[in-house]
Amino acid sequence: MKKVIVLTGAGVSAESGISTFRDNGGLWEQYDVEQVCTPEGWTKDPSLVTQFYNLRRKQLLQVKPCQAHYLLAELEKDYHVAIITQNVDNLHEQAGSSNVIHLHGELMKVTSSLQPNNEKYIRTLDADNPEVKIGDLAEDGSQLRPFIVWFGEPVPQIEMAAEISSLADIYVIIGTSLNVYPAAGLTQFVPDGCPIYLIDPKPVKWNSNRPFTHIMKGASEGMKELMELLKSKK
C-alpha cells in the first residue's frame, strides 16, 4: 500500500470548535503568549499557566472530531497513513487514526517540570479529572506541567517527522499556515515527484518551488474532494 503522510494544523481542530491561536478571536487575543506558552512564563507564574491549560482541557472535552478527522482515519483502509500534527488535542485519535505524531505535545498529558520529555514522568489525565493544581507533583518531586512544547523549547519529534515525510508517496497538508517552524520545514523532506495536496480555504504563502495542488476549502470539504481525487487516480 502507498504511504500517505498528512501534516495537520489548527484549521482541522477549528472545525471541531477549538479556538485557534492565530485567527481573529483566537486565544492569543485573550492571553499573552509570553505568559502561557513559554518556559519563562511558566517560571514566572506557574499558577496562571496551569489555569490556562486546565481551561483548554475543559474546552477539548466538550468537542468532538469533525468530518475531516474521520475521513483521515478512513484513509487507513486503502493506505499506510501517518499523521504529523501541530495540534495538541487528541481528536485524530478519537476519530480512529492509529498513527499520530504530536509535534507540539499533547494537551491531555502532563509531565515533570524538570525532565518534561522523560517518558517515565509523562502521564495521561483522566477525562473525569482533567485539572492540575499547584502542588500536584511528578514522580521526581517537581510540579506537574503540561506536556506541551512551548516556544523556545526543542521539538523532540521533529526528526522522526522528517524521516516519515521522506517516505511519502502522497503528502497532504491541512489547515496550517506553513508559518510555524520547524513544522513548516517538513515539506523539504518530501521526495521529488511525490504529489502534494494543500487543503486550506485561504491563500497560503508557501515559499516553495514544488508544484502542489491547492484545494481552497475548509478541512472537511477539502478532505471530501481529496478522497475523490485519490479514488480517480487509483
Query: Is 214 one of the annotated active-site residues of the chain?
Result: no
Cell 472535552 sits on residue:
61
Q: Is 21 exposed, middle or buried (0-12, 13-18, 19+ CB in 10 A)?
A: middle
- Out of 69, 92, 102, 104, which one is annotated catalytic? 104
Cell numbers for 232: 480517480
* Residue 206 neighbours by CB distance under 10 Å: 18
Of 190, 199, 208, 200, whose CA–CA distance to 229 is shortest?
A: 199
Task: Give the closest residue to 173 by CA, choosing from 138, 141, 132, 210.
Answer: 210
The residues annotated with a catalytic role in the active site are 104
